[in-house]
């Protein structure tokens, strides 16, 4: 095993010809983090004894779920063991990309910082939809692709079959697909050699004004925001004043350096180099992914392309289970936002749930991750309302409303309602085509096309309303395909649809938290299901409680909770009194956990059961 | 008396009470409850602190024996005398309950009563009640009790229908309780009660009608009617869980209650507590009323509960352990609680609301008062009484008494 190579070029003084910037595209669980770990060891930047699994994934949730949320960049010195450039120390900047569909934009920025990518695919499973989507992104960016099959040590590995599949996708020969085991280390040296050989060196203008693209921005509680950049042109030096080209804001560079993998200060960063900088800003929204950094004086006049503001696609109301936790929830969201420019939220009040926030997310995983972090890192117990998308409602009088919460759906004469649609790509064994098409049809999908990736694997493309995906589409897809299907989707715009708001009325009072926007054909089923469920969950009260589902003033479903007629213990003699008093205290406690909706006592559990996304508010699970 | 004891602090070995317990005792009546923890067989629905001969064999030895039970209990009455010191009160009521008191010879019950008379004295108009099993008494037995000072007797009738009695494991023949009423009258008892149970699995509205008709026909001056409570841990609870007998729906209980109240009213019985009806004020059970009005009472016997001036305590459950404590001159008290003022207020509300006279509105705090107005609007409280400053349950309110209490104590 080679030790740290000699004559390692230093940051700011590295010949671009020796630099290779690459990322790894892989599906969750296909071994990207393990491969990265192996590279850290092989190149000697992390010593054996310091090694811990998934070294680069810093957050607990990342390590636990085996997914990478925030990308990182590591500078690896590597002298190829054979072939071109043998024995000459190169600098490999490995940029770790987020793997999930919700973070497509961040992926695209990571890709834009690279000249090549390692396409890493599990040799037992083949390529997955998200990987394919990212591969297409990489191809659009004209990156060099190094196809690699991982986990060849697994008994279930089928390297021949999947090498064929990768070769078809990438346009190479099956023999060109590298076979490695990140776990055992087999083939990883050869992979590093291939990266040096096949990934082009960066090209930039060294004496032009500096232009560096931000591909990640991370909040660190000790250092403030750490911004990861790739220098395209020119040079950034320490203690320079820099300017964010999207906002014009200027900052002093307090520190600049590279990661190996811990932060290591340097004199600067030159053309093609990748590293971090610290300016003292406290909020990642001041250092946005995709933005271009230049010097304050004599800086560049034209920003690099590709910047856009992250736009939330999915909204959910987050409420503390205990109303007194509201300030803690606000503080926690503030803290998370420091590190997550895509997280948006505003205070919201629900008659049923009290004070909370309407929170916008990039997608469902983003929602899950944020909710889990709030609960785990901040110890909050939350109710999350069923996720919904953003609707654009045009009124007959020409007014336009943007609806992020069903309860804000306007009354009055509506002309059109627009909902976001996505282009969904599903990869699955061909035996499941029927089941997948059936699912997509019931979710108002339109088939765009279908291609065979290999003899028995197929890619199916659909246009689907995003609202149909945010509930339990993925769960349904997984269960209908015995877990074999994978899904990717990207927003493609909006469409006018026949959408209605279904309200739920308890004893005549509208319960805002239960309102939902559904397609008119699905409204009846939604109403019937929710009303039946509430009848089970709400205990009998002193009076009869009608539960109704209504569209406007038209009732579409109704159930009645009969009035309770008996609530009295038959006997209460000498020996019963203490017990009776204690029972009363217990019942009072139980009553405190009830939320009053008008005059109806609704158990907290009823809200959780109906609203939580675990038990989808929109579709019944089979 | 339920078999599960509450948690509490320990009782001093000599059974002594905090001085505060006897403050103002002179203004409160004093009652005695004497528990007889024996039954011939255990009924499937019963979770009271009672034991059959088989259950006691080998576990409590000679100490738990029925033969010397009256003497053991008299020891506790003498302990009560010591604990209450020079309390000058005579006893207003004595109630012998169980278990099945009439499993003991009449002379034993008379001897137990004698201990109370000897140590405390009985008020001239004292109400002296015993519970009785219809099959374990006859005219001679009743005459002996009457001669010994008992003037009220309560028979467990439960139902007039054999198939209902069978589910309850009651062994008496239908008709026997009604005959007992006549025998008790003949023996000179002033007051006679029949206990009824409704809502037994398998009981129909017709069955319940028949039971009420039979009970009323026997002419007692007091009838108690209880909804069957299926207590955890009883044989009946297990049978219901196994699906052998159906669980009775609360709505059925409500219907049966309405039937009872209407039939009893027609026959001249009026309610004075949620589950109790009497032909006149004199027919009410004064002993039970003392429980409900926060009087002092001393419960003697295994598992018996007592209350003196805001201190509640309860004895060890097992007859063997009970007898052993007394034999060693220790209090058989297993635990006690000293009720803070707020708990006493809550207890007053929850107990007095069950009575025809109701709860004085002055006992309620602002939130409870507001809730009482809602209850009034909802038809759960009686309007005329409310105007007179008392929260009194309407017929519908009686069926929802616990819900009303939960709001009123706020």
Q: Is A496 on the interface with B (CB under 8 A)?
A: no
What is the per-residue pLDDT for A418? 96
Closest by Cα among B312, B383, B388, B313 to B344:
B312
Three-state SS sequence of B321-378: HHHHHHHCCCCCEEEEEECCHHHHHHHHHHHHCCECCCEEHHHCCHHHHHHHHHHHHC
Interface predicted TM-score of the whole assembly (ipTM), two decimals: 0.89
Write the CATH number for A584: 3.30.70
Q: Which residues of A touch B381 (CB under 8 A)?
A: none
Task: Please check whether residue A494 is in contact with residue A418, taking contact to mean a CB–CB distance below 8 angstroms.
Answer: yes
Q: Which of B6, B354, B401 sits opposite A579 (nearest CB)?
A: B6
% of chain A at pLDDT higher than 90:
44
Q: Is the pLDDT of residue A532 over 70?
A: yes
Q: Is the pLDDT of residue A215 over 90?
A: no
Q: Is the pLDDT of residue A286 over 80?
A: yes
Q: Which two tokens stand for residue B126?
A: 């004292």
Closest by Cα among A111, A77, A78 to A95:
A111
Q: Which two tokens stand for residue A352?
A: 């049923």
Q: Do A570 and B227 touch (CB under 8 A)?
A: yes
Q: Which two tokens stand for residue B225?
A: 């009617």
Instruction: Indicate whether A240 and A381 sit together in one domain.
Output: no
Q: Do A579 and B346 touch (CB under 8 A)?
A: no
- Looking at the domain assignment, is residue A480 inside a domain? yes
Phi, psi for residue B271 in degrees, rounded to 5 = -70, 145
Q: Which of B257, B291, B350 sits opposite A584 (nearest CB)?
A: B350
What is the per-residue pLDDT for A377? 85
- Distances A146 to A98, A120, A122, A128, A311 between C-alpha atoms, Å: 18, 8, 14, 17, 32
What is the per-residue pLDDT for A58? 54
Q: Is A596 on the interface with B (CB under 8 A)?
A: no
What is the per-residue pLDDT for B268? 97
Q: Give the C-alpha separation, A335 to A325, whole Å.
A: 15
- Looking at the domain assignment, is residue A33 inside a domain? yes
What is the per-residue pLDDT for A622? 28
Task: Name the residue with tokens 């993925």.
Answer: A474
What is the per-residue pLDDT for B69? 94
Q: Give the C-alpha separation, A126 to A585, whole Å.
A: 60
Buried b or exposed e, range B309-348, using 16+ CB within 10 angstroms: bbbbbbbbbbbbbbbbbbeeeebbbbbbbbbeeebebbbb
**Minimum distance, in Å, between the CA of residue A581 and any CA atom of chain B:** 7
Q: Which residues of A touch B302 (CB under 8 A)?
A: none
What is the per-residue pLDDT for B62? 55
Task: Name the residue with tokens 């616990």.
Answer: B402
The count of residues in chain A is: 622
- Looking at the domain assignment, is residue A231 inside a domain? yes
Q: What is the mean pLDDT of residues A598-609?
A: 82
- Distances A462 to A104, A441, B139 between C-alpha atoms, Å: 18, 9, 92
Residue pairs spanning A and B at CB distance below 8 A: 101
Residue A67 — very low, low, confident or very high, per pLDDT cuts 50/70/90? Answer: very low
> Would you call B54 exposed, middle or buried from its count of C-beta atoms within 10 A (0-12, 13-18, 19+)?
exposed
> Would you call A126 exposed, middle or buried from its count of C-beta atoms within 10 A (0-12, 13-18, 19+)?
buried
Q: Where is B294: in which H helix or E strand?
A: none
Q: Which two tokens stand for residue A589?
A: 């406690």
Q: What is the mean pLDDT of residues A4-31?
A: 84
What is the per-residue pLDDT for A471? 74
Phi, psi for residue A58 in degrees, rounded to 5 = -85, -35
Q: What is the mean pLDDT of residues A565-576?
A: 88
Closest residue in chain B to residue A577, using alpha carbons only: B347
> How many domains does chain A divide into?
5
Block means of pLDDT (10 residues each) for chain B, length 410 residues?
68 91 90 94 83 69 76 96 93 95 95 97 97 94 97 97 92 92 96 96 96 97 95 88 88 96 97 97 96 96 95 93 93 94 94 97 96 94 97 96 93
Tell me chain B's radius of gyration from C-alpha atoms: 21
Helix (H, G, I), strand (E, B) or coil at A502: strand
Residue A32 counted as an annotated binding residue:
yes
Q: Which two tokens stand for residue A238?
A: 């320490």
Please state whether beta strands A457-465 and A446-454 pair in parallel, antiparallel, or not at all (unpaired).
Answer: antiparallel
Q: Is the pLDDT of residue A201 over 70?
A: yes
Residue A428: CA atoms inside 13 Å, Cβ hemisphere, count? 27
Please state whether beta strands A414-429 and A486-497 pair in parallel, antiparallel, or not at all (unpaired).
Answer: antiparallel
Helix (H, G, I), strand (E, B) or coil at A604: helix
What is the per-residue pLDDT for B53? 75
- All domains of chain B, ordered by start, with CATH? 19-292 (3.80.30.20), 341-410 (no CATH)
Which tens digits make up the pLDDT trace of A135-159? 888 888 889 999 999 999 999 999 9
User: Which of B50, B405, B408, B410 would best serve as a mutation to test chain A binding (most A beta carbons within 10 A)?
Assistant: B405
- Average pLDDT score over chain A: 86
What stretches of A122-187 show up as alpha helix (H) in DSSP? 129-140, 159-170
What is the per-residue pLDDT for B3? 55
Q: Is the pLDDT of residue A218 over 90?
A: no
Write the CATH number for A290: 2.40.30.10
What is the per-residue pLDDT for B246? 87
Closest residue in chain A to residue B299, using alpha carbons only: A574
Residue A29 counted as an annotated binding residue:
yes
**Residue where a domain terminates, one of A141, A176, A198:** A198
Instruction: Indicate whether A176 and A108 sit together in one domain.
Output: yes
Q: Is the pLDDT of residue A101 over 70?
A: no
Closest by Cα among A26, A39, A150 to A92:
A39
Phi, psi for residue A228 in degrees, rounded to 5 = -100, 130
Q: Give the C-alpha separation, A469 to A420, whole Å.
A: 11
Please state whether beta strands A354-361 and A314-320 pair in parallel, antiparallel, or not at all (unpaired).
Answer: antiparallel
Q: Which two tokens stand for residue A545?
A: 């409680």
Q: Which residues of A touch B305 (CB under 8 A)?
A: 574-575, 577-578
Task: Name the residue with tokens 């309950």.
Answer: B97
What is the per-residue pLDDT for A28? 74
Q: Give the C-alpha separation, B354 to B350, whole Å.
A: 7
Q: Do A568 and B398 touch (CB under 8 A)?
A: yes
Which tens digits make up the pLDDT trace of A259-280? 887 888 999 999 999 999 999 8
- Looking at the domain assignment, is residue A11 inside a domain? no
Q: Give the C-alpha separation, A504 to B326, whole Å.
A: 65
Q: Do A575 and B314 touch (CB under 8 A)?
A: yes
Q: Which residues of A touch B348 (CB under 8 A)?
A: none
Residue A152 counted as an annotated binding residue:
yes
- Distances A65 to A33, A107, A342 between C-alpha atoms, Å: 12, 19, 21
Instruction: Indicate whether A164 and A71 sit together in one domain.
Output: yes
Q: Do B305 and A564 touch (CB under 8 A)?
A: no
Please state whether beta strands A144-150 and A241-244 pair in parallel, antiparallel, or not at all (unpaired).
Answer: unpaired
Residue A150 counted as an annotated binding residue:
yes
Q: Which two tokens stand for residue A605?
A: 């559990």
Q: Give the C-alpha separation, B358 to B363, whole Å.
A: 11
**Minimum distance, in Å, between the CA of residue A381 and any CA atom of chain B:** 28
The model's pTM: 0.65
CA angle A526, A532, A536 (to 5 degrees): 140
What letter would DSSP give residue A540?
A: P
Q: Which residues of A touch B350 (CB under 8 A)?
A: 572, 580-581, 584
Q: Do A572 and B312 touch (CB under 8 A)?
A: no
User: Which of A568, A584, A599 would best serve as a mutation to test chain B binding (most B beta carbons within 10 A)?
Assistant: A568
Q: Give the C-alpha separation, B242 to A428, whole Å.
A: 48
Q: Is A582 on the interface with B (CB under 8 A)?
A: yes
Q: Which of B297, B402, B409 sits opposite A569 (nearest CB)?
A: B402
- Looking at the domain assignment, is residue A336 inside a domain? yes
CA angle A10, A14, A20 (to 5 degrees): 110
Write the CATH number for A194: 3.40.50.300
Instruction: Indicate whether A535 and A602 sit together in one domain.
Output: yes
Q: What is the mean pLDDT of residues A330-347?
A: 85
Helix (H, G, I), strand (E, B) or coil at A544: coil
Tell me chain A's radius of gyration from C-alpha atoms: 28
**Minimum distance, in Å, between the CA of residue A579 and any CA atom of chain B:** 7
Q: Which two tokens stand for residue B30?
A: 């004093």
User: Which of A540, A541, A573, A578 would best serve as a mutation to test chain B binding (most B beta carbons within 10 A)?
Assistant: A578
The count of residues in chain B is: 410
Which tens digits make up the pLDDT trace of A389-432? 999 999 999 999 999 888 889 988 999 999 999 999 998 889 99
Q: Is the pLDDT of residue A99 over 60?
A: no
**Residue where a domain terminates, one of A385, A415, A441:** A385
Task: Note if the bond before A261 is cis, omega within 30 degrees.
Answer: yes
**Minimum distance, in Å, between the CA of residue A592 and any CA atom of chain B:** 11
Q: Is A6 on the interface with B (CB under 8 A)?
A: no
Q: Give the C-alpha separation, B272 to B278, whole Å.
A: 7
Q: Which residues of B touch A569 (CB under 8 A)?
A: 229, 402
**Minimum distance, in Å, between the CA of residue B303 and any CA atom of chain A:** 9
Task: Please check whether residue A449 is in contact with residue A151, taking contact to mean a CB–CB distance below 8 angstroms.
Answer: no
Instruction: Indicate whether A226 and A249 sit together in one domain.
Output: yes
- Looking at the domain assignment, is residue A307 inside a domain? no
Helix (H, G, I), strand (E, B) or coil at B297: strand
User: Which of B3, B5, B6 would best serve as a mutation to test chain A binding (most A beta carbons within 10 A)?
Assistant: B6
Instruction: Indicate whether A146 and A270 sit together in one domain.
Output: no
Write the CATH number for A318: 3.30.70.870
Instruction: Indicate whether A109 and A30 sit together in one domain.
Output: yes
Q: Which two tokens stand for residue A175?
A: 């023999």
Closest by Cα among A202, A275, A271, A203 to A234:
A271
Q: Which two tokens stand for residue A224?
A: 């403030």
Please state whether beta strands A90-96 and A19-26 pair in parallel, antiparallel, or not at all (unpaired).
Answer: parallel
Q: Do B304 and A575 touch (CB under 8 A)?
A: yes
Task: Please check whether residue A11 is in contact with residue A258, taking contact to mean a CB–CB distance below 8 angstroms.
Answer: yes
- Looking at the domain assignment, is residue A620 inside a domain? no
Q: Do B6 and A580 touch (CB under 8 A)?
A: no
Closest by Cα among A584, A583, A592, A510 to A547:
A510
Instruction: Indicate whether A35 and A172 sit together in one domain.
Output: yes
Q: Do B402 and A578 touch (CB under 8 A)?
A: no
**Minimum distance, in Å, between the CA of residue B401 and any CA atom of chain A:** 5
Helix (H, G, I), strand (E, B) or coil at A548: strand
Instruction: Indicate whether A140 and A90 sit together in one domain.
Output: yes
Q: Which two tokens stand for residue A452?
A: 């065979």
Q: Do A565 and B399 touch (CB under 8 A)?
A: yes
Task: Please check whether residue A481 is in contact with residue A429, taking contact to mean a CB–CB distance below 8 angstroms.
Answer: yes
Residue range of the domain that includes A410: 392-497
Instruction: Indicate whether A573 and A459 sit together in one domain.
Output: no
Q: In terms of pLDDT, which residue wins out, A301 or B64?
A: A301
**Residue where a domain terminates, one of A198, A219, A253:** A198
Residue A257 counted as an annotated binding residue:
no
Q: Which residues of A touch B275 (CB under 8 A)?
A: 570-571
Instruction: Indicate whether A285 and A219 sit together in one domain.
Output: yes
What is the per-residue pLDDT for A71? 47
Instruction: List, in order, residues 6 or more apart from B309 with CB less than 8 Å away.
Output: B17, B20, B21, B22, B23, B24, B25, B28, B296
What is the per-residue pLDDT for A438? 95
What is the per-residue pLDDT for A13? 87
Closest by Cα among A135, A71, A104 to A422:
A104
Instruction: Indicate whether A348 and A493 sit together in one domain.
Output: no
Closest by Cα among A79, A74, A118 to A94:
A74
Q: Give the C-alpha separation, A507 to A602, whole Å.
A: 12
Closest residue in chain B to residue A584, using alpha carbons only: B406
Q: Is the pLDDT of residue A619 over 70?
A: no
Q: Which two tokens stand for residue B298?
A: 């001393």
Q: Do B297 and A543 touch (CB under 8 A)?
A: no
Q: Give the C-alpha separation, A42 to A320, whole Å.
A: 47
Q: Dump the DSSP string for B10-52.
A: PPPTT----GGGGTTGGGS-EEEEEEE-B-SS--TT--BS-B-
Residue A151 counted as an annotated binding residue:
yes
Closest residue in chain A to residue B288, using alpha carbons only: A573
- Looking at the domain assignment, is residue A344 inside a domain? yes
Task: Please check whether residue A214 is in contact with residue A227, taking contact to mean a CB–CB distance below 8 angstroms.
Answer: yes
Q: What is the mean pLDDT of residues A440-458?
A: 91
Task: Please check whether residue A453 is in contact with residue A493, taking contact to mean a CB–CB distance below 8 angstroms.
Answer: no
Q: What is the mean pLDDT of residues A33-60?
A: 72
């Amino acid at each position: 095993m080679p030790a740290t190579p000699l004559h390692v070029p230093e940051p700011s003084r590295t010949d671009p010809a020796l630099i290779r910037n690459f990322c790894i595209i892989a599906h969750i669980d296909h071994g990207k983090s393990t491969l990265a770990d192996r590279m850290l060891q092989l190149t000697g930047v992390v010593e054996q004894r310091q090694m811990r699994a998934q070294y680069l994934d810093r957050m607990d949730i990342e390590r636990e779920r085996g997914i990478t949320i925030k990308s990182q960049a590591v500078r690896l010195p590597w002298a190829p063991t054979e072939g071109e450039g043998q024995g000459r120390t190169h600098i490999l900047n490995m940029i770790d990309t987020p793997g999930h569909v919700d973070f497509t934009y961040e992926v695209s920025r990571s890709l834009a910082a690279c000249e090549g990518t390692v396409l890493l695919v599990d040799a037992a499973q083949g390529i997955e939809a998200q990987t394919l989507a990212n591969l297409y992104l990489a191809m659009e960016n004209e990156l060099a692709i190094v196809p690699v099959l991982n986990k060849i040590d697994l008994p279930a590995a089928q390297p021949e079959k999947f090498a064929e599949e990768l070769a078809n996708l990438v346009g190479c020969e099956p023999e060109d697909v590298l076979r490695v085991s990140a776990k055992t280390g087999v083939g990883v040296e050869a992979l590093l050699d291939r990266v040096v050989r096949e990934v082009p060196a960066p090209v930039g203008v060294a004496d032009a004004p500096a232009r560096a693209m931000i591909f990640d921005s991370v909040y660190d509680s000790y250092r403030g925001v750490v911004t990861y950049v790739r220098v395209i042109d020119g040079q950034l030096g320490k203690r320079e004043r820099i300017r964010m080209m999207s906002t014009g804001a200027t900052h002093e560079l307090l520190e600049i350096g590279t990661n190996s993998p811990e932060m290591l200060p340097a004199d600067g960063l030159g053309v093609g180099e990748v590293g971090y900088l610290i300016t003292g800003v406290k909020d990642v929204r001041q250092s946005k992914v995709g933005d271009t950094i230049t010097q304050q004086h004599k800086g560049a006049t034209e920003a690099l392309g590709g910047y856009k503001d992250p736009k939330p696609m999915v909204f959910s109301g987050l409420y503390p289970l205990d109303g007194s936790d509201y300030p803690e929830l606000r503080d926690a969201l503030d803290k998370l936002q420091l590190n997550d420019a895509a997280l948006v939220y505003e205070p919201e009040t629900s008659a049923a749930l009290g004070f909370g926030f309407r929170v916008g997310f990039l997608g469902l995983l983003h929602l899950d991750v944020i909710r889990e972090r709030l609960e785990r890192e901040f110890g909050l117990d939350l109710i999350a309302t069923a996720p919904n998308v953003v609707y654009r409602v045009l009124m007959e009088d020409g007014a336009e409303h943007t609806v992020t919460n069903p309860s804000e759906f306007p009354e009055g004469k509506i002309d059109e309602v627009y909902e976001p649609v996505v282009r969904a790509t599903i990869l699955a064994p061909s035996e499941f085509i029927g089941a997948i098409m059936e699912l997509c049809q019931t979710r108002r999908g339109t088939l765009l096309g279908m291609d065979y990736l290999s003899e028995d694997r197929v890619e199916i493309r659909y246009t689907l309303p995003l609202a149909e995906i945010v509930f339990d589409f993925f769960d349904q897809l997984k269960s209908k395909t015995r877990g074999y299907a994978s899904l990717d989707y990207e927003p493609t715009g909006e469409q006018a649809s026949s959408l209605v708001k279904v309200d739920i009325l308890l004893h005549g009072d509208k319960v805002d938290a239960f309102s939902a926007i559904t397609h008119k054909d699905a409204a009846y089923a939604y109403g019937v299901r929710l009303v039946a469920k509430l009848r089970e969950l709400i205990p009998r009260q002193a009076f009869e409680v009608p539960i109704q589902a209504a569209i406007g003033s038209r009732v579409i479903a109704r159930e009645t909770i009969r009035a309770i007629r008996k609530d009295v213990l038959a006997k209460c003699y000498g020996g019963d009194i203490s017990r009776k008093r204690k029972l009363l205290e217990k019942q009072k406690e139980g009553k405190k956990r009830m939320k009053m909706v008008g005059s109806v006592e609704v158990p907290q559990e009823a809200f959780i059961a109906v609203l939580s996304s675990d038990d989808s508010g929109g579709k019944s699970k089979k | 008396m339920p078999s599960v004891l509450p948690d509490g602090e320990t009782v001093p070995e000599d059974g002594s009470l905090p001085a505060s317990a006897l403050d103002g005792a002179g203004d409160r009546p004093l009652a005695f409850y004497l528990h007889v923890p024996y039954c011939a067989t255990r009924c499937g629905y019963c979770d009271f602190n009672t034991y059959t001969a088989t259950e006691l064999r080998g576990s409590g030895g000679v100490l738990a024996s029925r033969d010397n039970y009256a003497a053991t209990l008299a020891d506790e009455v003498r302990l009560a005398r010591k604990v209450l010191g020079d309390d000058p009160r005579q006893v207003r009521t004595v109630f012998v309950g169980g278990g099945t008191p009439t499993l003991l010879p009449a002379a034993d019950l008379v001897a137990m009563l004698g201990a109370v008379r000897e140590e405390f004295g009985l008020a001239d108009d004292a109400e002296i009640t015993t519970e009785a099993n219809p099959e374990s008494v006859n005219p001679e037995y009743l005459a002996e009790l009457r001669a010994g000072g008992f003037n009220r007797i309560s028979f467990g009738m439960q139902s007039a229908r054999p198939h209902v009695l069978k589910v309850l494991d009651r062994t008496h023949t239908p008709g026997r309780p009604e005959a007992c009423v006549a025998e008790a009258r003949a023996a000179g008892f002033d007051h006679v009660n029949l206990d009824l149970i409704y809502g037994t699995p398998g009981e129909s509205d017709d069955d319940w009608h028949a039971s009420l008709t039979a009970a009323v026909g026997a002419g007692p001056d007091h009838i108690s009617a209880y909804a069957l409570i299926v207590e955890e841990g009883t044989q009946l609870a297990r049978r219901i869980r196994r699906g052998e007998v159906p669980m009775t729906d609360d709505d059925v209980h409500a219907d049966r209650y309405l039937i009872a109240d209407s039939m009893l009213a027609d026959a001249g019985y009026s309610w004075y507590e949620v589950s109790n009806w009497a032909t006149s004020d004199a027919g009410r059970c004064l002993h039970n009323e003392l429980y409900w009005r926060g009087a002092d009472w001393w419960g003697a016997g295994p598992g018996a509960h007592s209350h003196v001036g805001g201190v509640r305590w309860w004895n060890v459950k097992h007859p063997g352990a009970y007898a052993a404590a007394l034999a060693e001159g220790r209090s058989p008290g297993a635990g006690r609680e000293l009720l803070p003022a707020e708990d006493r207020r809550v207890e007053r509300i929850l107990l007095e609301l069950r009575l025809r006279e109701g709860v004085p509105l002055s006992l309620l705090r602002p939130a409870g008062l507001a809730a009482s107005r809602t209850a009034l609007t909802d038809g759960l409280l009686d309007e005329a009484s409310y105007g007179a400053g008392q929260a009194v349950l309407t017929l519908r309110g009686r069926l929802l008494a616990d819900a009303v209490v939960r709001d009123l104590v706020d």
